[in-house]
Amino acid sequence: MLNSGVNGFQESPVRRLYLFDIDGTLITSGGAGEASLKLAVQDFCGKEIDFSPIVMSGNTDTGIARQLLTLAGVEVNEENIMGLLDCYLARLAERIALHPGRLLPGIIPLLDQMQDRPDCILALLTGNLAAGAEVKLTHYGVWHYFGFGAYANDHHERNKLGPVAISRALEVYGEQFPPEHIYIIGDTPRDIACGKAFGAVTVAVATGHHSREELASHHPDFLFDDLVDADAVLAAIAPRK
């Protein structure tokens, strides 16, 4: 609904941009991502490697690929990064339905309410490759909610993805969203750091591998145990003016 402005003119509601993480925030893939990466390393590098030195949570696929190639003793260059990730995407498409993944609680009601509001613009900011994001979110039936995204294809450092999202929003919607009208929603300290890196509002949700206490120590602007209560979440992060 439009608000009455000065002299009776109607003012459009302030639009905000909501950038969602995927794994641990919208879905859990039930281990499909990591299993696909392990098979991809065997496919591309011809060997198994120890994944324990790699922190997967909140990392980008391109960042992980760089580390995997190093551990496998393979030169880290653009050709090898994309070669490994092409193998990963092929394996992910095979495996996504074989693992006990699921949408996390409350996601559909929350996205439905946000999609119905003209002041809420939904998009992605994720460490997934664009094609990997599409595989995962199509499988779980929520890909269509998001108009665009900033992905691991755009940069291997997550903190560099905020400006990409701002630029892409301008391309898609013709609107320059200021950082205070951009919300980063994710389940890891890296999501919080990414938002803080460009002055966005940070929304942490403890539905991934990090506890509420750990997330709180990184001082997000908002912190939820989960996104089950859509009305309460929206009252906090998307108040109607």
Phi, psi for residue 9 in degrees, rounded to 5: -70, 150
Task: Say what angle helices 130-139 and 32-45 make with each other, to 10 degrees.
Answer: 140
Per-residue pLDDT of 163-208, as tens digits, reads 999 999 999 999 999 999 999 999 999 999 999 999 999 999 999 9
Share of the chain above pLDDT 90, in %: 88
As to burial, measured by CB atoms within 10 angstroms (0-12 exposed, 13-18 middle, 19+ buried), residue 147 is middle
Residues 112, 231: Cα–Cα separation, whole Å = 12
At 22 the pLDDT is 97
- CA-nearest of 150, 168, 166 to 158 is 150
Domain boundaries 32-95, corresponding CATH code: 1.10.150
Per-residue pLDDT of 138-168, as tens digits, reads 999 999 999 999 999 999 999 999 999 999 9
Helix (H) or strand (E) holding 187: none
At 4 the pLDDT is 44
Q: What is the architecture of the domain spanning 13-29+101-237?
A: 3-Layer(aba) Sandwich (3.40)
Share of the chain above pLDDT 70, in %: 95
At 68 the pLDDT is 95
Given a cut of 80, whether residue 47 has pLDDT beyond it is yes
Pick the residue with more confidence: 13 or 170? 170
Residues 160, 169: Cα–Cα separation, whole Å = 15
Q: Enumerate the domain spans of the chain.
A: 13-29+101-237, 32-95
